[in-house]
Structure 1
Amino acid sequence: MDIAFNCKDESITLTINSVVVAGWTGRNLAAVQQHIDELAELGIAPPSQIPLYYRVSTAMLTQSESIEVLGEGSSGEVEPLLIRAGGKTYFGLASDHTDRDLEAYSVAASKQACAKPIATSLWDFDDIADHLDDIRLRCWIDEKGKEVLYQDGTLAGIRPLADLCTGAGISDGTAMLCGTFAAIAGVRPAQSYRMEVSDPHSGKTIALSYSVVALPIIA
């Protein structure tokens, strides 16, 4: 699948043949356990190993400003996005939107059930490689008509991206969502998300916003 992006003020088109969603990627094992515990409250079984690398269809990637999901039990997560294409590595922003109800049955199935919004802009990975731990990701959700900070952290809280690439066996034509941080006040659904990754060294940011339309579950 070919997807258009903006990188260094130029339009580029990258061919993506496979998508990996890395899970349980926290560098701090206590924080990982916190995320496992909060999901356990939703009836979701703990992972068989840490980290795990789930596969989803390339068709799940979307740059649409709105996604449709089945029912009211899904939620998004801000995540760094890596894309290897044409012999280069690019860094972007994505949301691992997941069906939490289905996750209680199968995490792998839940990952495939929802579209994965991705930002339209990318950075050249080489431009940030020497200060990755300083890169900050944040997510806000619309809750009762008010924007609330939902997630906040730096890449210092996620396993080194090079290690994740090695573990997943990333090759040319692969996009990988690289994991996330625990949600502030717990994982929960929302009608809209606003996400941002910022580089304090350059002052540059990548933004991603999308709304969620819940379709009725018909029995």
Structure 2
Amino acid sequence: MKFSTGLTQIEIAIEHLVVAGWTGRDHASVQHHIDELSEIGVAPPSMTPLFYRVSSSLLTQADVVQVLGVETSGEAEPFLVTHGGKFWLGLASDHTDRELEATSVAASKQACAKVCATAVWDFDHVRDHTDQMQLRSWIKENGEWVLYQDGHLEQILPLATLGSQIENVDQSAMLCGTLPAIGDVRPAAEFRAELVDPVLENRIELQYRSEWLESIR
């Protein structure tokens, strides 16, 4: 998998992939996310945060991903990669099967591709101001892009703390948790997101769509 660092390209063969869940820094925000998922039948977690090991083959930079059903949607998440003995920060979407999630969160994490952007930042260069970074996502509804998530990384547990789960395992990656949805958590076939660094005036973007396998002719 190739990533642009702004100055050069690095190629990383991701061998271990982790999806972190329930990583909100504020208990009330975590409970809000638990409550919004409970409305679609998702059981509350046994503890927070939780770390789900999923197949590294799920990670992709494709513009189109295939899904088993129409009840799926993305979630914007900061994305940490270990390579060369250091962290790199990017952006990813934890695309999730919402119908399966009501039965098993762990299984739902394994059921869909995880889409990551093609750019990363040297974490050492941004470590001191990650809390100021803005994370946003949009979904397409009725042909229009609708703001779906909007917040700052200060709402998520410190990335260095979350990354400690993988920092000693090179060629690893972690999706570091998400922000509450604006409105209900709901399926959407088209998704885009951005991570904005207001200090260094940089941004990372991703956009993709999902195709229901049954609809392909």
- CA deviations on 1:17-44 (whole Å, 9 max, x unpaired) are 1000000000011011111011101111
- CA deviations on 1:135-193 (whole Å, 9 max, x unpaired) are 11100110111111000111100001121123x24422210000001100010111211
- What one-letter code is carried by the residue in structure 2 that aligns with 1:164? L
Aligned to 1:37: 35
The answer to whether the 8 Å contact 2:166/2:172 transfers is no
Aligned to 1:118: 116
Aligned to 1:131: 129
Aligned to 1:77: 75
CA–CA distance in structure 1, aligned partners of residues 107 and 7 of structure 2: 37
CA–CA distance in structure 1, aligned partners of residues 127 and 159 of structure 2: 10
- What one-letter code is carried by the residue in structure 1 that aligns with 2:148? Y
CA–CA distance in structure 2, aligned partners of residues 34 and 132 of structure 1: 23
**Superposed displacement of residue 8, structure 1:** 2.2
Structure 1-normalised TM-score? 0.95
Q: Please say if 1:63 is aligned against 2:61.
A: yes
The answer to whether the 8 Å contact 2:139/2:192 transfers is yes
How well do the aligned residues superpose, as a CA RMSD in angstroms? 1.1
CA–CA distance in structure 2, aligned partners of residues 135 and 104 of structure 1: 31
**Superposed displacement of residue 15, structure 1:** 2.6
**Secondary structure of residue in 2 paired with 1:48:** coil
CA–CA distance in structure 1, aligned partners of residues 150 and 177 of structure 2: 13
**Secondary structure of residue in 2 paired with 1:185:** coil
CA–CA distance in structure 2, aligned partners of residues 165 and 149 of structure 1: 28
Percent of paired sites with the same residue:
55
Aligned to 1:88: 86
Structure 2-normalised TM-score? 0.96
**Superposed displacement of residue 194, structure 1:** 1.1
The answer to whether the 8 Å contact 1:66/1:210 transfers is yes
Which has the larger displacement, 117-126 or 6-15?
6-15
The answer to whether the 8 Å contact 1:16/1:85 transfers is no
The answer to whether the 8 Å contact 1:20/1:54 transfers is yes
Aligned to 1:140: 138
Unaligned runs of 5+ in 2: none
- What one-letter code is carried by the residue in structure 1 that aligns with 2:68? L
CA–CA distance in structure 2, aligned partners of residues 54 and 116 of structure 1: 13
Once the two structures are superposed, the pairs formed by residues 17-36 of structure 1 within 5 Å of their partners are 17-36=15-34
CA–CA distance in structure 1, aligned partners of residues 9 and 160 of structure 2: 26
Spell out structure 1 runs of 4+ moving beyond 3 A. none
Of residues 151, 154, 160, the one that matches 1:162 is 160
**Superposed displacement of residue 78, structure 1:** 0.1
